[in-house]
Structure 1
Amino acid sequence: MERRPMRITSLFSGVRLRSTKIAIAAPQKVASVAKSCVTKMIVDPWSVSPEAVDALAAQFFAASLFPYLGFLYYLGRDEVKCPKLANFGFRFLLVFVFATIPAGIYAKVHYHDILANIDWLHGGAESLLTITNLLIVLGFRGAMTPNVIDAVPTESAKTEESPMRMNSTIVPALITSLGSFLSLAALGSLHVEPANALSFPTWVIHVSSLVEWLVAMGLVWKYAEVTDNPAWKGLTWGMLPLHTSGICACTYHLFYNAPSLNILVALQAALTFFGNGTLVAAAYRISRSEKKTMAAHKSVSSQSEKRNISLVGFEDLAVQLQQDSNAKFLLKLFGISCVGSALVKWGSLAIDAPFEPTLALSLSIIVIPTVLNMAKWAVRSNKEMSDFGGFL
C-alpha cells in the first residue's frame, strides 16, 4: 500500500511535467493553427467542400447547354445572315461538349483522377474546342474578304502593308521567347514539373483557343461594320464572359490543377452559363434588328482604310493580316500560340507562384485581363458612338 502514494505522486509529477511542456509549446501550436486557419480562409473563404464545388460546377456546365441551344436557334435564322461556316462552327461546339462527358468518365473509371490530370485525354477533348474556334474565325473571315482569301497580294497591297504585317514572322518572336526563358533560367534553379503538368501540345491547344476566340470577337465586330448592322457588336460583348471562362481554365492549369483552387472550376462553369446567356440575348437582338444590312461580302480593306484601325490586340489580327491566305493566317496563329505556350509552360518553372497556389493570385490573373479586355471594347464603342454596339 505504501507504493500507491509514490505512484500517485509520480503520476502527478508526470502530469505537471507534461503540462509544463504543453505550456511551453502552446504558443507555437496556436500560431500554427492560426496560420492554418488563415490559409484555409484564403483558399476557401466559405469552407465549401471539394465535393460541393465539383457538384456546383457540374450543375452549371449542364445548365449552360440550354441557353446555348437557344443561341444556336436564333443564330440559324435566315434574317440573322450568319456566315454558314461560322454558324457550323458554333454548332460544332456541341461535339466538344458531348465528347468531354465520356472522356471525364473514362478518366475517373480508368485512372481514378479528374480529366484535367490525364494529359492525352484532356488535350484530345480540348482540341475539339480549338477546331470550333477555327471554324468560327474562318467563317467570318471568309464572309468579309471573299476576294482576298487564298489570293496573292498585288504590288500595291505589298507597299501599303502595315508595320505589324511586315514584322509578323514568328521567327523573331521565337528567338525572343527563347532568350526570355534562358534569362529566367539563369536567375535561379528551375522547379521540377509535377506529374500532372500539361504537355506542350496541350498548352498550345489551350492558348490557341484563347487567341482564336479573341480573333473571332474582332471579326464579329468587323462583321457588324461591313453588314451595317451594329447589333452584331452585341455578340462580341456576349462572347467576352466565355473568354474569361477560358482564362479560368488556363489559370487552374497554371497552378497544376491544385485542389485548393477547385473553386476556379466552379467559376469557369458559372461564367460559361452566364456567357451562353449573353450569347442567346445577343443573337435574339440580331434576329430582331430592323436595320437594313449591306452586302455581307464587302471587303474589310475599304473599311480599314476608312477608319484607319491600328493594332491594339489579338482581335485585330484578322484585319491586319487580311492579305494572307487561310494557310498563312492559321500558321501565324499557330506560331503565336506556340510562343505563348512555351513562355507559360517553361517560363513559369523559374518562379515560385505556380507551386504556391493562392486564391488571391489566381483571381488577379483572371480579373486583370478581363478588365483590360472590357476596357478595349468600351473605348471602341465610345469612339464609334455606337452605344456599346447597341448591346446596352
Structure 2
Amino acid sequence: MSVQVEHLVRYAPGSTRRLLNDVSLNVPTGAFVALVGPSGAGKTTLLRAIAGLDTFEQGTLLLDGQTMGTMRDRARKIGFVFQNYALFPHMTVAKNISFGLDVLPRSERPSRSAIAARVQELLDLMQIPDAGASYPARLSGGQRQRVALARALATGPKLLLLDEPFGALDPIVRRSIRTWLKALHERLGLTTILVTHDQDEAVEIADRIVVMQHGQIVQDATPEELNRNPQTAFVMEFLGEAPSFNGIVQDGLMVPDEAGLLPFAVDASVPPGPVTAMLRPYEIQVCGPDERSAQEPVIPLVAEGARNGYRHYRAQLAERSVPFSIPDFTENTVEIQASGLLDISRARLFRDGERCG
C-alpha cells in the first residue's frame, strides 16, 4: 500500500501553532520509512494523521491513491502498534491477537476455526508459538511487543504504522527485535512507517529516513545519503556525534578559529565568509608537527581506550576537548603521539545552519 501526503497542516487544539506545517511525503508500496526528530517535531502527529486517529485542517492524504473515508475502512488496511503495547490485560494473548477479527460485523467475520488458525499462524510467525493461553502480565517486554505486532497484523493490513515500538525494551532485546522486524517486513511485503527517536535504529532498519523539525520535513533520504550529504547542521547533529569548528573561508581555504587545526581547501562554489565545519569523530585525522612548520602549535592528544571497533582519543584544544577515533583493525599501523595537529578536511561546511560546502 502506498501513502501520499500532500501539504498537510494540523494546528494544536485551540491554538494557531502548527503541529504539522505544510508536510508532504510519498511512501511507495513496500517501503520501510523511519520518521525521526526531537520531541515535538511532529513525528507521531503525522503518523496518527495517516492512521486516521487525528484530523488535519489542510492538505490531502491518499492510501493507494484513494482517500479513506471512515475508520472502518482504515482498520482493515492499517495495522498500528503503540509504544506501550496497549494490550488488554484481562484477555489471553490469543484473544488479544484475535480482537480485530472478533469485532468485525458478522457478515465479514471469519469462522471461529479460521480465527484460531490465524492466531496460531501469527504466534508461529512471531516466534512465540506456545504463548496463546498466557496473559500479557506473564510475558517479557519483548514478547508483549511481538503480541502487539501480531494483533496489528491479524486483519491482514498492507500498511504497518509503528509509534516508538521499542522504547520500553532493554538494549539487547531492542537490537534483536528490530532486526527481526526488518525481516518480517520483507517477508510479508508490508509498507512500514516507523516513528523513533533513536537514529541508530532508523539507520539499521529503514530504507529511507525522514528527519522532522518544528512540524516540517527538513530532509528525506537514504541513511547513506543523509550521512554523506546532510542539508542542515541540525540533520548532521541529530544523526550522530559531530564535532564542530568555526572558521572563515578566504582565498579558497577554510581557516579554523582555534589553534591546532589545519586549514584546508574548499570548493570554489563556497563564498568567502564565516562557516562552521562539522564531521564525525572517525573522519578527523591526526598529523605530526613535522608535517607542518615549526611555528604551528600542536595540541595534547589523550587515549581513551578501544570500544565498538575503534580506538578513541581526545584532542585538548584551548577551551575544550574534541573526540576522535581510529578503526581498531589489527593491520592498522597508525600510532597516535602525545601531541599533534588535527586535519578536519573531510568536514561538511554550514553557514547559518544550511549546507554550503
With the length of structure 1 as denominator, give the TM-score of the two structures. 0.20
- Of Structure 1 and Structure 2, the greater helix share is in 1
Higher relative contact order (CA 8 A, sep 6+): 1
Larger radius of gyration: 1
- Of Structure 1 and Structure 2, the greater strand share is in 2
